């Protein structure tokens, strides 16, 4: 089976999750205003507004704690170089928007990490990385079917 060549990517701050959070907070604010005017103003509208603000603030706090490091594919397995070098046991592409990807990465029995990868331009390195992510996932699924 064909395996994609080695690829690596620096994982850092991405605009995509910030824009998504902003869009959802704006949508929630508009819906809260519509709810406020369609219903009689009361404690439910205030409670809904406070819940919206609390969720937005918690999401912003979560964005600040996103992991940073280097994701590397050596042709056979994934490696994560963050605070320490780890072998990635599971890497799943959850969302793929061509220029922005959301990945779920697990390194052993620890909790999964969420990675936002983003590129300003569609260069060859980005294409190689996306190819490696998809091909490595399909390679994992065919390994279980091969048998002994």
- Helix (H) / strand (E) element for 45: namely helix 43-64
Q: Which residue has the higher pLDDT, 145 or 115?
A: 115
CA distance 77 to 91: 10
Q: What pLDDT sits at residue 145?
A: 42
Say which DSSP state 39 is in: S
pLDDT band at 146 (very low <50, low <70, confident <90, very high): very low
Closest among 86, 78, 72, 79 to 139, alpha carbons compared: 78
Helix/strand/coil for 70 = strand
Find which of 28-42, 99-113, 128-142 is predicted with most confidence, using mean pLDDT. 99-113
Q: What pLDDT sits at residue 139?
A: 61
pLDDT band at 83 (very low <50, low <70, confident <90, very high): low
CA distance 78 to 137: 11
Residue-wise pLDDT for 30-76, tens only, equals 888 888 778 766 787 788 888 888 888 888 787 777 778 899 998 88
pLDDT band at 94 (very low <50, low <70, confident <90, very high): very high
């Amino acid at each position: 089976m064909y395996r994609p060549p080695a690829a690596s990517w620096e994982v850092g701050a991405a605009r995509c999750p910030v824009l998504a959070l902003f869009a959802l907070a704006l949508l929630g604010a508009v819906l809260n205003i519509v709810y406020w005017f369609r219903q009689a103003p009361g404690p439910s509208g205030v409670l809904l507004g406070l819940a919206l603000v609390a969720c937005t603030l918690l999401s912003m706090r979560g964005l600040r704690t996103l992991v940073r490091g280097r994701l590397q594919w050596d042709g056979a397995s994934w490696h994560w170089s963050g605070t320490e070098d780890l072998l990635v046991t599971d890497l799943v592409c959850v969302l793929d928007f061509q220029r922005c990807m959301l990945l779920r990465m697990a390194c052993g029995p620890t909790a999964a990490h969420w990675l936002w990868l983003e590129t300003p331009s569609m260069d060859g390195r980005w294409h190689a990385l996306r190819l490696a992510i998809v091909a490595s996932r399909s390679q994992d699924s065919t390994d279980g079917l091969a048998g002994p």
